Structure 1
Amino acid sequence: MKKNRKFIISGILLLLIGVTIGLVISSKFDFQTKGFSEDYQISKESQELLSKIGNAMAEVIQAVRPSVVNIYTTKKIKRQGIPFPFNDPFFRRFFDDEFGGLFNRPKEFTQTALGSGVIVDPSGYILTNYHVIKGADEIKVKLYDKKVFDGTLVGYDAKTDIAVIKIKSNGLRAIKWGDSDKLKVGETVIAIGNPYGLNLTVTRGIVSATGRANVGIADYEDFIQTDAAINPGNSGGPLVNVSGELVGINTAIFSTTGGYQGIGFAIPSNMAKVVMDSLIKNKKVIRGWLGVTVQDLDIEMAKTSGLKEIKGAVVTDIQDGSPAEKAGLMRKDIIISFNGKEVEDAAHLRNLVVSTPPGKTVNMEIIRGGKRYTITATIGELGAEQMVSESESVLAGIYVEDLTSKIRSQLHIPKKINGVIISSIDPDSPADGLLMRGDVIMEINNEKINSVKDFVRVSKKVKNEAIIWFFRDGRVSYITLKVGQ
């Protein structure tokens, strides 16, 4: 009994000790909690400031969203059937039907894609990326109010990845144009689009860099880099500033996973507008031409020329009879400004030139022999480089230029070879993978090609098939191009 009493008394004491400790801890925790709530309250001023910022962003987004559209495209893809292992009528008769016509019969299926676009005119013009509508047989446009329209392709420019489509509607909410040249690194921007088909998604970030070139996305690059989240489906949507103005067209992401990693690219609005206006007015892009070959300035050249910054483009070659030659430009000249704008590098100068209307007179500031000079040039049209505009032609997407003596010398092309040289080929051209840059087209369907004019004239008559004789790597060959091959 005594032992039992001892155990009971010990248990009661332990229980009392536990309750006491619990009360102390509870009291202390309650004290700390009260202290936290009293010491770390968000001030009224901070709440008002954050509320104002949030409301301001909401206003910008509400103003812009009605100008953003969904773009859905479809195209039919034909794929050849699997060839028979044995070319025997017996196998064809008894086995082809068993496999549902699998062998030797072309298969056709529909491929769908989605992207974004932005209304730039109340009458129905919409700006987007070329890669969004590339090869599409059908384009559908869904507006902010859920209405769906058929889209018609007005024109495209593969070299800048810009396309213009139009819908039959009036009184649409067109976005306001902004000046992308005024963008500063660190400035807040907003990306709107339809990533992964999620309608009208908004992301916010800053301008990480401007003038990004040599990214490998397009031929003419002057990208705005941003950390605003851009994902598949955002392509063609607007990048806007805090005033709700269009400053860029969301185009691509830099990613090792296929998803957002903090680096997105947008085509500057100023470049997009020049291309868009030309496509609407001329059904093609008319570009300026200076006629120089340039490369980036390095630190040694900058020092010897007395330049404090490594900015500018060094002239390495000048085309005969070009605006540059007529203006008096010389090899080794360093172009540091063009038409009042500071030249960052060779790619920047190239973009400035092609964006200048032909016939316009511009001033260029150059460094020659350590001294500064101002040279005046009248910009020409980039007419030496042509592309077949008829999309149904088997020659569509081939860019060529005249074969000059300088090009002959550089590429070691014999004098007996006459024709036009291919400068580039669009990825969706029937000639892609068969012809290549540097090939000299000599003859098309038994007609001699001696100039760009000959090429354009003959190509307009070609539709579904063309036999092309060309020179490559020291030998003359021929291929037959067919639509859908």
Structure 2
Amino acid sequence: MALKMRSSVAHAVLALAVSFSLVAGGPLAVPAAAQVQPNGPESVADLAESLLDAVVNISTSQNVKSDDKAPVPQVPEGSPFQDFFDEFFKGEGGEEGNQGQTVNSLGSGFVIDPSGFIATNNHVIEGADDIEVNFANGSKLKAKLVGTDPKTDLALLKVEPKAPLKAVPFGDSRTMRIGDWVMAIGNPFGLGGSVTVGIISARGRNINAGPYDNFIQTDAAINRGNSGGPLFNMKGEVIGINTAIISPSGGSIGIGFSVPTELAQNIFLQLRDFGETRRGWLGVRIQPVTDDIAESIGMSEAKGALVAGIIKGGPVDNGSIMTGDVIIRFDGKDVDEMRDLPRVVAESPVGKAVDVVLLRDGKEMTVKVTLGRLEDGEKQAGEDEVTEGEGTTEEGMAPETGEAQPSKADTVLGMGISDLGEEARKTFEIVESVKGVVITEVAPDSAAAERGIVPGDVIVEIGQEAVTTAEEVKTRIAKLKSEDRRNALMMIANRTGALRYITVRID
């Protein structure tokens, strides 16, 4: 009945439209937006048939030693998606009493070179002792792991075929638009490829899986075992690697995520050529430019990446880029928000000289920078210190100590402040490299407390000008009040020297 009613209404609307066109004395004009194909794309059978042979099933096994009957692990330790969703490629593992167990997993992959290079997800093969690739024609080959990149959850395998394999080409994911048709192919159970079709639902998704998140979201069904399979455009080109889903049950609910080829293609090339990644490195700590920070430094809009620290010995430890700079363009690419910078830097070749456009003291300027290698920087200083995009949100915590806090503290914006002498440095265990004005106490309901400031933090700058005495802090705040500023921009160091910019509301 409902269907008939909808049909009747449709006929009535059509009759009314025809009548209107006859009265107007001309043909019926259909708006461009109304010229849609109600039945979706034409058959994709020919396209799917030409691609199925290049999509493979990847079977892995891992020997797990156990003293008891522990359950089969659902997510490998260290997986970048451990906190976001449960893996959807796992198969069943067997248990053999207390003698340990063999965990078997299934996933998908695809051939990117006829000589035998196969792309997949890192979490599909992570921790595997044995990797076997099952092809659509029923043949099987043992695979060797060429290299992995946990930061993007990608991995490259190599098999030794007797004849060239069917491979699929990469396309340009940057040309894909929301609403474009896409096809996902997986080979989850080794029974042959499974094909689903949908559209691109969104682009540039950040699901907090890693520092370079830029996922394509699609409603093409991605189910258990499809992880590592390709996402194709309607030309038969790979524009994404199916990696993650959001699902309470493990099945598709129309929210799937793929690593775009604009990021993945270069990773696979590096893994093939070097067996490892070789990412560009700028050597800065950055944080987002909030509306309050933008207002405090005179920016008309909140955009770019705020430089909160320079890594000692890094590529820009020569004064070319300074703390307080806001990077708004890198090598011709706009940096609209903080997370854009790590990605464009990582995609740039090591040793390349690039132009960096930044804002300093309210003026736009361009500096030339030669990039280092991120992996070398990680070995030199530790990953947490060198990865652009991790931010500087670590809060300095005052140590538990029975010693008295420094006396004669002034109060400003709900903070007790004092010159940073030896007594204060010893009390709060502040490293020698930190210079500024120590915060001795913070009122619980103050604006400073809202921003996560704690006793033992040190005010290094106010309004991008260094301060060394409590009197200077009071003078700067008073000046900002006289200028009717709503917020005070401060550079804060914790007791270990980690820097961050914050804004504190001026009451």
TM bracket, shorter-chain basis: 0.5 to 0.7
Does the Cα contact within 8 Å between 1:196 and 1:232 map onto a contact in 2? no
Amino acid at match of 1:258: G
Residue aligned with 1:184, SS: coil
Distance (whole Å) between structure 1 residues aligned to residue 336 and residue 385 of structure 2 = 28
| 1:122 paired to 2:109 | no
In the alignment, does 2:146 pair up with 1:158?
Answer: no
Contact 2:53/2:136, CA 8 A, preserved across alignment: yes
Q: Aligned residue for 1:60?
A: 47
Counterpart for residue 321 of structure 2: 329
Shift of 1:107: 1.2
Q: 1:52 to 1:258 in 2, by over 3 A?
A: closer
1:204 aligns with 2:192: no
**Which of the residues 320, 341, 355 maps onto 2:347?**
355
Secondary structure, in 3 states, of the residue corresponding to 1:350?
A: helix
Instruction: Give structure 1 stretches of 5+ with no counterpart.
Output: 1-31, 41-48, 83-104, 388-397, 416-473, 475-485
Q: What is the Cα deviation at residue 263 of structure 1?
A: 1.6
1:413 Cα offset (Å): 9.0
| Residue from 283, 292, 296 that aligns with 2:275 | 283
- Give the aligned partner of residue 131 of structure 2: 139
- 1:181 corresponds in structure 2 to 174
**1:309 to 1:195, Cα distance in 2 relative to 1, 3 A:** farther
> Which amino acid counterpart does residue 177 of structure 2 have in structure 1?
K
Question: What per-residue deviation string (whole Å, max 9, x for no partner) do you get for residues 415-442 of structure 1?
Answer: 9xxxxxxxxxxxxxxxxxxxxxxxxxxx
Counterpart of 2:233 (choices 237, 241, 247) is: 241
Cross-structure match for 1:3: none
Contact 1:327 1:375 (C-alpha < 8 Å) held by counterparts = no
The answer for the alignment partner of 2:58 in structure 1 is 71
More relative contact order in 1 or in 2 (CA 8 Å, sep 6+)?
2
Question: Once the 2 structures are TM-superposed, how far is the Cα of residue 72 of structure 1 from its aligned partner?
Answer: 0.9
Q: CA deviation at 1:236?
A: 0.4
Superposition deviation, residue 132 in structure 1: 0.4
Separation (CA, whole Å) in 1 of partners of 2:306 and 2:243 = 30
Taking a change above 3 Å as real, the CA distance of residues 189 and 305 of structure 1, as seen in their structure-2 partners, is farther
Cα RMSD after superposing both structures: 3.7
* Residue 259 (str. 1) matches residue 258 (str. 2): no
- Aligned in 2, Cα 1:413/1:386: closer, same or farther, shift over 3 Å? farther
Mapped partners of 1:327, 1:147: distance in 2: 59
Question: 1:178 Cα shift?
Answer: 1.3
In the superposition, the TM-score normalised over structure 1's length comes to 0.62
Separation in 2, partners of 1:210, 1:262: 15
Seen in structure 2, the aligned counterparts of structure 1 residues 62 and 76 have a Cα distance that, compared at 3 Å, is same
**d(CA) in 1 for partners of 2:293, 2:219:** 34
Q: What's the offset of the Cα at 1:63?
A: 3.0
**Identical counterparts, % of pairs:** 40
User: How far 1:272 sits from its partner (Å)?
Assistant: 1.5
After TM superposition, give the deviation of residue 237 of structure 1 in Å: 0.4
Letter in 1 for 2:51: V
Q: Which residue is 1:250 aligned to?
A: 242
Query: Is the alpha carbon distance of 1:211 and 1:286 closer, same or farther for their aligned partners in structure 2, counting shifts above 3 Å?
Result: same
Once the two structures are TM-superposed, the CA of residue 146 in structure 1 deviates from its matched residue by 2.2
Deviation at 1:372, TM superposition (A): 2.0
Q: Is 2:307 aligned against 1:319?
A: no
Matched residue, 2:32? none
Give the Cα separation in 2 of the matches to 1:125 and 1:254: 29
1:410 CA displacement: 7.0
Q: Is 1:371 matched with 2:363?
A: yes
Aligned residue pair count = 341
CA contact (8 A) 1:324 1:377 kept: yes
Query: Take 2:122 and 2:301, find their aligned partners in 1: how far apart are those partners?
Result: 36
With the length of structure 2 as denominator, give the TM-score of the two structures: 0.60
1:125-178 deviation digits (Å, cap 9, x = unpaired): 001001101111211111222221111111112222111101112421221111
In the alignment, the residues of structure 1 paired with residue 235 and residue 360 of structure 2 have an alpha-carbon distance, to the nearest angstrom, of 43
Give the secondary structure class of the aligned counterpart of 1:281.
helix
Work out whether residues 327 and 335 of structure 2, in 8 Å CA contact, stay in contact via their aligned partners in 1. yes
In the alignment, the residues of structure 2 paired with residue 209 and residue 52 of structure 1 have an alpha-carbon distance, to the nearest angstrom, of 18
1:199 partner letter:
G
Deviation string for 1:369-389 (max 9, x for gaps)? 3332222211011212149xx
> Deviation at 1:399?
6.3
Contact 1:249 1:267 in 2 (8 A): yes
Q: Does 1:193 align with 2:180?
A: no
Looking at secondary structure, tell me which structure has more helix per residue.
Answer: 1
Question: How far apart in 2 are the matches of 1:364 and 1:81?
Answer: 56
Give distance in 2, aligned partners of 1:163 and 1:220: 16
Amino acid at match of 2:324: K
Letter in 2 for 1:357: P
User: How far apart are the structure 1 equivalents of 2:50 and 2:303?
Assistant: 39
Deviation at 1:262, TM superposition (A): 2.2
Deviation at 1:61, TM superposition (A): 2.3
What SS is found at the alignment partner of 1:79? coil
Helix, strand or coil for the counterpart of 1:325? coil
Q: Is the 8 A contact 2:57 2:189 kept in 1?
A: no
- Residue 420 of structure 2 corresponds to which residue in structure 1? none
For the residue of structure 2 that corresponds to 1:113, the secondary structure is strand
Q: CA deviation at 1:364?
A: 1.7
CA distance in 1 between partners of 2:385 and 2:284 (Å): 15
SS of equivalent residue, structure 1 residue 204: strand
Separation (CA, whole Å) in 2 of partners of 1:251 and 1:378: 33
**Secondary structure at 2:377's aligned position in 1?**
coil
Aligned CA distance change for structure 1 residues 196 and 371 (closer, same or farther; 3 Å): farther
